[in-house]
Amino acid sequence: MSRDYLGSLASPVETAEIKKNERNMATEGPAVRRVQVAEHPRLLKLKEMFNSKFGSVPKFYVRAPGRVNIIGEHIDYCGYSVLPMAVEQDMLIAVEPVKTHVLQLANTNPLYPDFSTSANNIQIDKTKPLWHNYFLCGFKGIQEHFGLSDLTGMNCLVDGNIPPSSGLSSSSALVCCAGLVTLTVLGMNLSKVELAEICTKSEHYIGTEGGGMDQSISFLAEEGTAKLIEFSPLRATDVKLPSGAVFVIANSCVEMNKAATSHFNIRVMECRLAAKLLAKHKCLPWEEVLRLEEVQAKLEVSLEEMLLITEGTLHSEPYSPEEICRCLGISLQELKTQILSPNTQDDPLHQLSHCSARLKMNVLTFKLYQRAKHVYSEAARVLQFKKICEETPDNTVQLLGELMNQSHMSCRDMYECSCPELDQLVDICRKFGAQGSRLTGAGWGGCTVSIVPADKLSSFLANVHEAYYQRSNRSLVPEKQSLFATKPGGGALVFLEA
């Protein structure tokens, strides 16, 4: 697999030194590398395009990778650990600080128009998930973290090769890249953990209520290892993947923009409501509970016990707002203003405006049992996956594949975040040799990730390509026919021209 310039920017000795210096994620900031731009085609092309656009040359470059989540879907915002790895595809930005207070943003993709604004008056329109708003999220996050009001301007040219709305975290990679750009222009320092936490919070400006996995792996990733990402406090642990298998990403070619639809944030809301009903049933202070993990922590029980508690407490029929109010002993107005209030950053009610024709509370229903069952079972699968990777039994690949298959079934049936194309692609991948296959990312479109025995990789790629991309009657854009083997890549970096 071609590594483009990203894997060849440093010699093996330099790479080993970089890895050594980056071990302490809690205190070290992103690495800075000096490179000969002329020796790296992508950087050189970006430099030339920058000069053509702005009439000057970049002072530095920043890259932030996308990611594939191997297992642990829709549970980071519930407080549970996830298991992603960074991918080769990334966002790359060429940057020149300027003396004016104007941000000038351009993109190498002509589909994304130029944008300029005052660096001291950042406005982010949640109703329009335009590409430049993701840059503004990262910029504003750093600005507000340091409490700055008089920022310098900059010229930026963005080049991304992560397929958009594919479940590989193109949006979060741009937020992270912009955050690191801004930090570098200011000449300030933050650790990778601090950057990840700031960018997680700042992406909420665009209206999505994610839990932090995407930003964390973009900064904390290291080449050669997946990561178990844990939250509160944020930390990353190496997970060595089996050497006899390859992870393959396949794009369904169905796009789903989290910020443009309400599906994602309604799931966040359902998980919050499930947590509150479970807490109330167990006589916990339910008003304080926001995440399903908090219920488990307060009860001091296992995930398996939480599944039993869920089955004994919640019913499988959808809950109406009125029933939720009866369970919690509150009014509809209190439900709307105290639990689903649009006035706090943590709450997703504002996303309901994206539903058709201003949905009213009394026509919404919430599948609390199904969502909680998925979250607790998926959290257990993540820990089982890590344990198998550590113990390396003879049938490691088979066992990991079974967990991935169970994950997809739960995403499809309990969390309802799959779609027919993803289900078809998963079936095709399993038919042609994948030991396990599942949707990855938010779902409702995007990509699958499959674990494939290394000796079957060539035939797997050929057969899946023919069965899904060539035989279908879909009108597929060629560049979206992404089907590739991947391996764990490194995290965000700053490049200086030597």
Could you tell me how far CA 37 lies from the centroid of its own chain? 30
Tokens of 283: 């006589």
Could you tell me how far CA 363 lies from the centroid of its own chain? 31
List phi, psi (to 5°) of 200. Answer: -60, -50
| CB-side neighbour CA atoms (13 Å) of 253 | 18
Tokens of 242: 């089996």
DSSP SS3 for 326: helix
| CB within 8 Å of 298: residues ≥ 6 apart | 279, 282, 284, 289
Which of 90, 159, 214, 347 does the annotation list as catalytic?
214
H-helix or E-strand containing 213? helix 213-220
Nearest to 171 by CA among 226, 210, 120, 140: 210
Nearest to 252 by CA among 431, 420, 442, 486: 420
Bridge partner list, 450 = 248, 437
DSSP labels for 303-320? HHHHHHHHHHHS-SSPBP
Q: Dihedral sign, CA of 227, 211, 80, 399?
A: negative
| CB within 8 Å of 470: residues ≥ 6 apart | none
Buried b (16+ CB within 10 A) or exposed e, 369-378: bbbbbbbbbb
Nearest to 323 by CA among 266, 364, 375: 364
What is the Cα gyration radius of the chain? Answer: 22
187 burial via Cβ count (<10 Å: 0-12, 13-18, 19+): exposed
Residue 375's alpha-carbon distances to 56, 69, 353, 440, in angstroms, are 50, 15, 26, 15
Residue 464's alpha-carbon distances to 122, 456, 481, in angstroms, are 45, 12, 11
Tokens of 356: 């058709």
What number of other Cβ atoms are within 10 A of residue 12's Cβ?
7
Residue 155's alpha-carbon distances to 50, 102, 113, 183, in angstroms, are 9, 8, 14, 15
Task: Answer yes or no: 238 catalytic.
Answer: no
Residue numbers annotated as active site: 214
